[in-house]
Amino acid sequence: MFKSPSFARLLLAALLLMAACEQHKPAVVTSSPASMQQLEGTWLASHEENRGDTLVYRPNTYKFPPTRGRTGFAIEPFGRFEQFDIAPTDGLAGHPGTWTADGDTRLRIHLTEGQMPDYTLEIISLDKKVLKLRRVK
C-alpha cells in the first residue's frame, strides 16, 4: 500500500492526532501518540480489564496478576509485527508478520506464516501504560 514504511508511520501518527483533535466529533483516540514510537513495543493482554469488544493491553514490563498465560504482540519499526500466542508448554509462541496503516486509527496485520487470515486492529485509546483496541475482521 505504501512505498515507504516511514511514510506509513508518519501518516498513521498524523491521522491519530487529527482524530483526537476534532472538536465536533467524539474522538476515537483519547490520547494520541506524539509519534509511532509510543505504539512500538511489546504489549500483553490484560484480559481482566477487557470490556465488551474492547481489548486491553499493557507493556510487557507491567506487573500483571498471576494467570496461566497471556497473549500479545510486538509492534516494531518499519512495519514489522509479531503475534504471541500461548504455546503448548504455557510459554509464548511467536508468529512473525507485518503491519500497515489502514485508515486513520487502524493497523492492518498480516502474519507471514499464512495460517491465519489478515485482520485489523482499531486503536481506541493509547497512553504509555494502556493500549485499548478493537479487533476488526
Residues 6+ away with beta carbon under 8 Å from 18: 104
Polymer length in residues for the chain: 137
Domain count, the chain: 1
Tell whether pTM > 0.85: no
pLDDT digits (tens), the chain, 137 positions: 445 555 555 555 544 444 444 433 333 333 344 446 788 999 999 999 999 999 999 999 999 999 888 999 999 999 999 999 998 887 889 999 999 988 778 999 999 987 789 999 999 999 879 999 999 97
Q: Which of 132, 5, 135 is nearest to 56 (CA)?
A: 132
| Residue 122 contacts residue 136 (beta carbons within 8 Å) | yes
d(CA 137, CA 134): 10
Query: Which residue segment(s) compose the domain that 98 sits in?
Result: 5-136
- Give φ, ψ of 6 to 5 degrees: -70, -35
* CATH number of 77's domain: 2.40.128
* pLDDT at residue 5, as a whole number: 57
| Residue 35 contacts residue 134 (beta carbons within 8 Å) | no
CB atoms inside a 10 Å sphere around CB 46: 20
